Structure 1
Amino acid sequence: MSTEVRVPTLGESVTEATVATWFKKPGDTVATDEMLCELETDKVTVEVPAPASGVLGDIVAAEGETVGVDALLATIAEEGNAGPEETKPRPEPAQSEEKADTGSASAASAGEGGNDGGQVVDVPVPTLGESVTEATIATWFKKEGDSVEADEMLCELETDKVSVEVPAPAAGTLTKILKGEGETVEAGGKLAEMTRGGTGGQPHSADQGTPETTEAPGGRQGADTARGDVEDAPSAKKLMAEKGLSRDDVTGTGKDGRIMKEDVQKAASGARASDGPKAPAPQPAQPKRGPSPAADADREERVKMTRLRQTIARRLKDAQNTAAMLTTYNEVDMTEVMALRKEYKDLFEKKHGVKLGFMSFFTKACVHALKEVPDVNAEIDGTDVIYKNYVHMGIAVGTPTGLVVPVIRDADAMSFAEIEKSINEMGKKARDGKLSMADMQGGSFTISNGGVYGSLMSSPILNPPQSGILGMHKIQERPMVVGGEIKVRPMMYLALSYDHRIVDGKGAVTFLVRVKEALEDPRRLLMDL
């Protein structure tokens, strides 16, 4: 049985990488989470750890080759089932058949845990997504001693963006939970230990020197010893030379203290900051208040904010602190859209299997307006403006745990039915807590519908780094003057919040007027007017 080593997620908008360095060769014994190779993208350097213990088999992608996300890099065979035994560390060279047999038996004992249990397998913290370094353990679905199947869900982690399920890496028994519910774990850390195909027992009785049982530098048997000093990332070495930094000036955050490119960048920026005036220490987003009066204390309940809620609070405040945010308003007569929807909703649902809602009309109207006012679909990057020739529409969704914004990618190329299906799918995933990092990244503009909760008017806050967000509100009948007569019309207030650093007032007003015109006369969308 072999385990595949594949290219991990490389980050938002990054689809390929170059294999920079292989630290192992075919036939080498590797431990779970031991670094196998290093990939370089146009943004970051990515380490690829071993997903399981065993013997490295064929290397599919050699150094210098370009590989895509999830491409096969190599395979790892279970110890005892692959590779020559002489590649494993031994006290002395195997010169005779008797010694070879002894070594083979010893390896089998270490790999299988004798007759009392199976091979020890680590349950690692999975990749949490771009820029996410830690998570909180929300729920354990298994307890120590439980038997589990391969890929059966063991626990659920909560990050500041999404919930992440942790499946069992193999079939066996969960022997030891290292982190309990409520504890914080870092990406690449270890959550638990299990035995592959064993009965639990004592996983370390057979082999106290198993490589994966020690995380401290120098504690691994074989891998680090064989390699000697920890090898820093090639890109980090190059950047240290360019910045004039020595290894002592940089704190490595890679495995076993290995220096990565990001560590050098952080050290270089820290050196620059130390040369100039020191910035004031950052203040907490919400300072802690003093204790409540005794008469009130017993009637209050203190609950720790979830990571999602903390992130929402931080990002919204950052948006206010960073962008020159301004809001412009208008109102739209929904008569024509409501009439069109009423006329065709049954036929639409019969043909496409999804209900015709208002969001597809608003999405189409915004796409139409964004083409005319591209500033609203752009973002600021330092001293540059990035104009996007596509529309990845963010649709704000309220969930029991907080507001999330899944992204409908390439909404400008979708039909009404495709938009409605995508919105329904994303809404269901949001409510079930199944949204992935990829589902919420890369949005270029956002629509928020506070009207579903009864909001008559509000000023939405930008979803950085985007430069615009449209707020929809409650449809309410109001008296309006139409053709010199007062008539009752279903009216909705619209609000466009925008970053005044990039979007001028004229552009913002023009955008909102185009949305209004498209909704009051939906035929304009057909005619591209």
Structure 2
Amino acid sequence: MTTEVRVPTLGESVSEATIATWFKKPGDAVAQDEMLCELETDKVTVEVPAPAAGVMGEIIAQEGDTVGVDALLATIAAGEGAAPAPAAAPAAAPAATGGSVDVMVPTLGESVSEATVASWFKAVGDTVAQDEMLCELETDKVSVEVPAPAAGVITEILAAEGATVEAGGKLAVMTSGAGASAPTAAPAAAAPVASTGKDVENAPSANKAMAEAGLAPGSVAGTGKDGRVMKSDVQNAISAGATAPAAAPAPVATARPASAADDAPREERVKMTRLRQTIARRLKDSQNTAAMLTTYNEVDMTEVMALRNEYKDLFLKKHGVKLGFMSFFTKACVHALKEVPEVNAEIDGTDVVYKNYVHMGIAAGTPTGLVVPVIRDADTMSFAGIEKAIAEKGARARDGKLSMDEMQGGSFTISNGGVYGSLMSSPILNPPQSGILGMHKIQDRPMAINGQVVIRPMMYLALSYDHRIVDGKGAVTFLVRVKEALEDPRRLLMDL
């Protein structure tokens, strides 16, 4: 009996993914739900578990391949497990003909025509084994590994790091069948990935996360097959306070010519990843497309803080989750959105789509960047339900476990820069949404109350909105209603 392993659902509007890593090979025994491979989309990493126990059969889609939803990845044969596939067979496969073999750019995916050479892990003259990773390419959405098409020696590299290559273009030339032993002098060239001392390449998502965090590969312990470093390992290392060695930037700094300006040796120039370029472009597109404007107000947090302090212990005891400020702000925004529905709407061509629900996006910081999980139907939830949802989504975000569905479909967003100490900011809209509320640091300030100067815990609020459908009156009214609800939380109970 044979069981098929297929691509799972990837999320709304996501139709394809790239195979980043296989953790099993033909002949390996697998247990049910054991992780077989890792797929990468433009936003999340998806693990594919074994649908049944048995023996790994044929692997249909290789690392670096682009696959669609429900595509066949591999097969699993029923059985107790067999001896691992012979290790010596691949070495003998390529004939020692000394023929020339081209290393080509693989298929990059639908509508993706070019990529950037991010890293070469081998140099000219290095001996490589068949399927050993030679380089990594970056597109707008994913990283693609390029394996060696045969065993042999690298004779020429045609596309250097940083070069832009087209799908089907030639990357390098190698001579097949020349040399069978593993390279001994080459590890220096492969240091960015293989510096752990293991003959195992890290997952592309892990390499990218380490580069963004400034971590050296050797500082992160891998939990993948044969000690392979996974993206989750990098996130755990960052959470544990891992820091990059001081000497890590040296190779980059020395790449500048000695005749450059005096400050050049102390500068580090790193090319933006294609993913970061895409993020930058989309943020700028948001500013260029929407008529974005920001209005400000401030809120006295005295009553909310007093109410929270009074009931936080009982709240935790009954609901099993802490009572935070986010549930108050979520409730206040839901209340204000009912009065000013255009802030909860979006533009679709020449139509305005009004939402009769509130899918609240809550921006959350993670070791690898900012994500916005969505709490669906927040307008129907209690304080406890909102706090539980925020806690659960936040934990999944930090662990890199959010699915595409969990980050799509939001109708309004709250961003809390105050947790990082921000006193004032103008948040950028999250298209196609028409409004985003920026929370900030709570700071004691002298305020005039009933003719007396008193010290109150104050917070600045910022509402960025799309002026194409939200007028100034509506935006100011929304922010005033949020302020009123927070300064007198009893208004939320009475829907005032």
Q: Give 2:371's match in structure 1, choosing from 396, 404, 423.
A: 404
Bigger CA drift: 469-478 or 312-321?
312-321
Q: Is the 8 A contact 1:140 1:154 kept in 2?
A: yes
- CA change 1:174–1:298 in 2 (3 A) is farther
Shift of 1:450: 0.8
Distance in 2 (CA, whole Å) between partners of 1:414 and 1:461 is 27
Alignment correspondent of 2:68: 187
Deviates most, 322-331 or 168-177: 168-177
C-alpha deviation, 1:347, in angstroms: 1.3
Residues 477-524 of structure 1, C-alpha deviations (whole Å, 9 max, x = no match): 112222222222111111101111110011001100110111111111
Matching residue within 482, 498, 517 for 2:465: 498
Give the C-alpha shift of residue 422 in structure 1. Answer: 1.0
- Structure 2 vs 1, CA of residues 178 and 321 (structure 1 numbering), >3 Å: closer, same or farther? farther
Aligned residue for 1:294, secondary structure, equals coil
Measure the CA separation in 1 of the matches of 2:443 and 2:62: 50
CA shift, 1:324, in A, is 1.1
Which residue number corresponds to residue 134 of structure 1? Answer: 16
The residue that corresponds to 2:217 in the other structure is none
Question: SS in structure 1 opposite 2:429?
Answer: coil
1:125 aligns with 2:92: no
Question: SS state of the match for residue 364, structure 1?
Answer: helix
Shift, 1:318, TM fit: 2.7
Task: Tell me the alpha carbon deviations over residues 439-472 of structure 1, each in whole angstroms, 9 at most, x when there is no partner.
Answer: 2222111101011111111111111111100000
Q: Return the letter of the residue paired with 2:45.
A: S
Can you give the 5+ residue segments of structure 1 that lack an aligned partner in the other structure? 1-77, 79-118, 204-252, 254-283
Aligned to 2:193: none
Report matched runs for 1:79-90 at 5 Å: none
Query: Among residues 374, 384, 387, which one is paired with 2:351 in the alignment?
Result: 384
Q: How does 1:17-96 map to 2 (within 5 A)?
A: none
Match of 1:294 in 2: 257
- Pick from 436, 442, 446: which aligns with 2:413? 446
1:359 lines up with 2:326 in the alignment: yes
Q: Which amino acid aligns with 1:199?
A: A
Deviations 1:348-380 (A, max 9, x none): 111211111000000010011001101001111
* 2:382 aligned with 1:415: yes
Asked if 1 retains the 8 angstrom alpha-carbon contact of 2:28 and 2:85, the reply is: no
* Contact kept in structure 1, 2:26 and 2:85, CA below 8 Å: no
Asked whether the equivalents of residues 160 and 311 of structure 1 are also in contact (C-alpha less than 8 Å), the reply is no
Distance 1:517 1:140, change over 3 A: same
The reply on whether 1:435 has 2:316 as its aligned counterpart is no
Q: What is the aligned-residue identity percentage?
A: 76
Length-normalised TM-score, structure 1: 0.57
Offset of residue 323 of structure 1? 1.1
**Unaligned ranges ≥5, structure 2:** 87-109, 111-139, 142-161, 165-251, 259-263
Q: Which AA in structure 1 matches 2:477?
A: T
Is 1:162 aligned to 2:44, yes or no?
yes
Distance 1:460 1:392, change over 3 A: same
Measured in 2, the distance between the counterparts of 1:418 and 1:377 equals: 21
AA paired with 2:256? P
- The Cα shift of 1:146 comes to 2.5
Contact 2:18 2:39 in 1 (8 A): yes
Quote the residue 1:199 is aligned against: 82
Counting only pairs closer than 5 Å after superposition, residues 264-283 of structure 1 correspond to structure 2 as none
CA contact (8 A) 1:175 1:200 kept: no
Partner of 1:489: 456
Contact 2:298/2:460 (8 A) holds in 1? yes
Question: Max radius of gyration: which structure?
Answer: 1
Q: Is the Cα–Cα contact under 8 Å of residues 428 and 464 in structure 2 kept in the other structure?
A: yes
The residue number in structure 2 matching 1:221 is none
Distance change >3 Å, CA 289–CA 452, structure 1 → 2: farther
1:129 is displaced (CA, Å) by: 2.2
Q: Which residue of the partner structure matches residue 393 of structure 2? A: 426
Aligned pair in 2 of structure 1 residues 122, 310: CA closer, same or farther (>3 Å)?
Answer: farther
Amino acid at match of 1:127: T
Aligned-residue Cα RMSD (Å) equals 3.1
Superposition TM-score, scaled by structure 2 size: 0.60
What is the rounded CA distance, in whole Å, between the counterparts of 2:280 and 2:33 in structure 1?
34
Q: Secondary structure at the match of 1:477?
A: strand
**Cα separation, partners in 2 of 1:319 and 1:196, compared to 1, 3 Å:** farther
Distance 2:305 2:376 in 1: 26
Contact residue 21 and residue 39 of structure 2 kept, 8 A: yes
1:153 aligns with 2:35: yes
Alignment-mate amino acid for residue 82 of structure 2 = T
Q: Measured at CA, do residues 306 and 129 of structure 1 come closer, stay the same or move farther in structure 2, by a change above 3 Å?
A: farther
Residue 339 (structure 2) aligns with: 372
